């Protein structure tokens, strides 16, 4: 069994993991002043608890082709599962190269439309929001009315180093139009088979993003549950708001990773302010971090209570995030208006949004021709074919205006 801990970045090919994360935890804890010892204990205990849970391992299917029953049961019990070694070093290298190229195109600041070279910045001509910015180690969403007010309590915001920039990007939305590597990961055949097992063969897209949490800069994401639409639905169950895949480029730890409270995806809409008050701080009782190595992919229920602390540690985290819904959860439903304008999702909108998956499957097949591509049932039934080329790339511009946000 591999050791899980700090991801040391020494050029992409030199990434490795170590079990001792003490140095990073000590650095992070020091930002918390008189709460430093409590934070250190919380991080260390959470890391240990996370690795003792029985929800980690490679993607496996049963003889009938369905998701392994043990994986399905563990995902249902905890609300998340860590799939190990999903992305190869080759695929990770592709993502890292794309990220480097995209960073060069990032605008110089939140109000800028040009990059450092004075050229039009990435997303400068996009209709939808592209880059979400934050002050270093800040929490731009917590305690605000943004995203329908689902981030009820603001996380502690440490003071960043004097040399830190005034603002840093930490979420890139509509990422598939900017990165072919991310587009290809979106069509990973094993992950799509998992999506089918959870949400049915006619599953529908949701939203895609890159989360960027650089050391000493990366922002916090306040505790929240993702779903906003179906809490009072008569047919409410643990999977009605879908799930996210979280593919890790550098790995994630207790310091830079997402934390979750296992089992909360079954409890309905929670009073997060009350939970924080009962815990005495944002260090929620019973929470654990998503501890991953490079190439691991977490499936995380969108109803699961989750959040992340500011990245005060030593290691970067880049998460390739994408999710899927049951078709019944979105068809005929008025959207939540968080990731796209609120609209009622009909068949035409779902079909238009799903075309990106068709392009992704072909793009992946072009890059990995020896791999058996995923067959998406709605495309097969309608005899639809998609070719990834320059025209297709233009076709998916601003595709995220139709994100199926519930």
> What is the predicted pLDDT for the residue at 150?
86
Average pLDDT of the residues of the chain: 92
Q: Determine the pLDDT at residue 22.
A: 82
DSSP 337: S
Q: pTM for the whole thing?
A: 0.92
Q: Is the pLDDT of residue 115 over 50?
A: yes
**Confidence label for 12 from pLDDT (cuts 50, 70 and 90):** very low
Identify whether 295 is part of a domain. yes
Q: Is residue 223's pLDDT more than 50? A: yes
pLDDT value of position 141: 86
Domain that includes residue 175, residue range = 6-402
In a domain, residue 379? The reply is yes
C-alpha span between 120 and 104 (Å, rounded)? 11
What is the tally of structural domains in the chain?
1
Residue at 1 is within a domain: no
Q: In this model, does residue 378 exceed pLDDT 70?
A: yes
Residue 127 phi, psi dihedral angles, 5° rounding = -80, -35
- Decide if 237 contacts 329 (C-beta within 8 A): no
User: Is the pLDDT assigned to residue 142 strictly greater than 90?
Assistant: no
Helix (H) or strand (E) holding 24: helix 22-30
Residue 273 has pLDDT above 90, yes or no: yes
Helices 69-78 and 189-199 sit at what angle, rounded to 10 degrees?
Answer: 70
Element housing 17 (H / E): strand 16-18
Could you tell me where the beta strands, DSSP code E, fall in 127-203? 131-134, 168-173
Quote the pLDDT of residue 225: 96
Q: What percent of the chain has pLDDT over 90?
A: 86
What is the spatial distance between Cα 31 and Cα 238, in angstroms, rounded to a whole number? 37
DSSP code at position 253: -
Q: Residue 192's pLDDT band (boundaries 50, 70, 90)?
A: very high
Residue 368 lies inside a defined structural domain of this protein: yes
Over pLDDT 70: what percentage of the chain? 95
pLDDT exceeds 90 at position 160: yes
Give per-residue pLDDT as tens, 295-327. 999 999 999 999 999 999 999 999 999 999 999
Q: What is the mean pLDDT of residues 275-282?
A: 94
CB 166 within 8 A of CB 109: yes
**pLDDT for res 341:** 79
User: What's the CATH number where 363 sits?
Assistant: 2.60.120.620
- Comparing 17-21, 56-60, 382-386, the range with the smallest average pLDDT is 17-21
Q: What is the CA radius of gyration of the chain?
A: 20
Query: Which tokens belong to 200?
Result: 């049915």
Residue 282 lies in a domain: yes
Alpha helices per DSSP H over 130-255:
180-186, 189-199
Query: pLDDT at residue 14 above 60?
Result: no
**Which pLDDT score is estimated for 20?**
58
Residue 354 lies in a domain: yes
Across 7-32, average pLDDT? 62
Per residue in 329-350, pLDDT (tens digit) is 999 998 877 777 778 999 999 9
Residue 82 has pLDDT above 50, yes or no: yes
9: pLDDT strictly greater than 80 = no
User: Does 51 reside within a domain?
Assistant: yes
Rounded mean pLDDT, 363-379: 98
Q: Does residue 287 lie in a domain region?
A: yes
Mean pLDDT value across residues 102-108:
96
């Amino acid at each position: 069994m591999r050791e899980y801990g700090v991801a040391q970045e020494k050029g992409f090919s030199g990434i490795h993991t170590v079990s001792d994360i003490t140095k990073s935890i000590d650095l992070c804890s020091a930002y918390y002043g008189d709460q430093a010892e409590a934070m250190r204990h919380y991080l260390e205990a959470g890391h240990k608890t996370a690795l003792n849970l029985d929800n980690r391992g490679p993607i496996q299917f049963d003889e009938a082709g369905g998701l392994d029953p043990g994986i399905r049961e563990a995902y249902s019990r905890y609300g998340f599962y860590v799939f190990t070694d999903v992305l190869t070093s080759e695929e990770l290298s592709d993502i890292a190269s794309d990220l480097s190229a995209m960073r060069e195109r990032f605008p110089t600041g939140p109000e800028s439309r040009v990059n450092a070279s004075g050229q039009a910045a990435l997303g400068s001509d996009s209709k939808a929001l592209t880059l979400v910015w934050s002050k270093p180690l800040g929490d731009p969403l917590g305690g605000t009315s943004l995203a329908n007010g689902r981030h009820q309590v603001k996380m502690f915001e440490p003071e960043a180093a004097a040399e830190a920039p005034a603002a840093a990007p930490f979420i890139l939305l509509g990422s598939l139009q900017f990165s072919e590597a991310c587009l290809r990961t979106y069509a990973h055949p094993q992950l799509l088979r998992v999506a089918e097992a959870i949400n049915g063969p006619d599953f529908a897209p949701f939203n895609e993003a890159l989360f960027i949490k650089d050391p000493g800069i990366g922002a916090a994401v306040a505790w929240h549950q993702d779903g906003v639409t179906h809490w009072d639905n008569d047919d409410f169950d643990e999977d009605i708001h879908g799930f996210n895949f979280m593919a890790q480029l550098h790995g994630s730890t207790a310091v830079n990773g997402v934390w979750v409270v296992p089992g909360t995806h079954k409890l309905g809409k929670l009073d997060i302010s009350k939970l924080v008050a009962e815990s005495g701080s944002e260090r929620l009782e019973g929470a654990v971090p998503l501890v991953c190595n490079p190439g691991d992919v977490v499936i995380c229920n969108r109803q699961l209570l989750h959040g992340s602390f500011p990245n005060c540690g030593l290691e970067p985290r880049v998460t390739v995030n994408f999710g899927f819904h049951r078709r019944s959860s979105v068809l005929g439903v008025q959207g939540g208006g968080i990731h796209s304008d609120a609209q009622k999702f009909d068949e035409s909108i779902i079909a238009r949004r799903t075309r990106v998956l068709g392009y992704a499957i072909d793009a992946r097949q072009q890059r990995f021709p020896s791999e058996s591509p995923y067959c998406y049932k709605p495309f097969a039934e309608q005899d639809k074919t998609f070719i990834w080329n320059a025209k297709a790339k233009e076709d998916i511009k601003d595709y995220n205006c139709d994100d199926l946000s519930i």
